[in-house]
Chain A
């Protein structure tokens, strides 16, 4: 069983569209995250959810909205996509002071 799974793996879409990326973890972790990895490979935190409560919301545009229906799922919805949103988005989960497990990543390309 995959510990952290996210779908889709690749997403190509036009500017202005709305898209969602789904993430599920079966590790029983309390905290889930979304990271953005740009072309320079920098991993930047976007959102963090602990027991379904948003605990960090970094300075990302409000076009990005995380949704957590339960503590095993954290989806990312993006409105009005822009060229600069092209990146790899990683979902991850962890418990306090322990290893974060990453999903396989979603490569988003906005054209």
Chain B
């Protein structure tokens, strides 16, 4: 089955800095890669996703890149703000298969 590795497990940055979270996946047939943000005590919510037919996608301060050859994808957050502090999960799936999540990255943005 699919295996998703996520790094780092914790990331501390100063407000205004950029943050990068990286994930690798094992199943070359996976073709859907979402990123979820989970605030303390809340449910995970999608912030951005990418499908295997594109290499990069951007939404305001958030961008995701995908390298299918290397089987890795990354989340980039620019101009971080304290409200970006949360746990971020990457995931991978194919077709109707279940989303397999990485172990999460706790992002702390200090004012």
Contacts and interface: CB of A to CB of B under 8 A. Distances in A.
- Please tell me the size bucket of the interface on A: 20 to 34
A100 B31 contact: no
A92 to B, nearest CB: 8
Nearest to A95: B96
Nearest to A6: B43
Interface size, B (range): 20 to 34
Interface string A38-70: 001111110010100001100000000000000
Interface of A: 30-31, 33, 35, 40-45, 48, 50, 55-56, 90, 94, 96-100, 102-105
Given A41-B106, A90-B43, 18 more contacts: A33-B99, A41-B104, A42-B101, A42-B103, A42-B104, A43-B104, A44-B101, A45-B100, A50-B96, A56-B97, A90-B44, A97-B95, A99-B49, A100-B46, A102-B43, A102-B45, A103-B43, A104-B42
Interface of B: 31-32, 34, 38, 42-46, 49, 51, 87, 89, 93-101, 103-104, 106
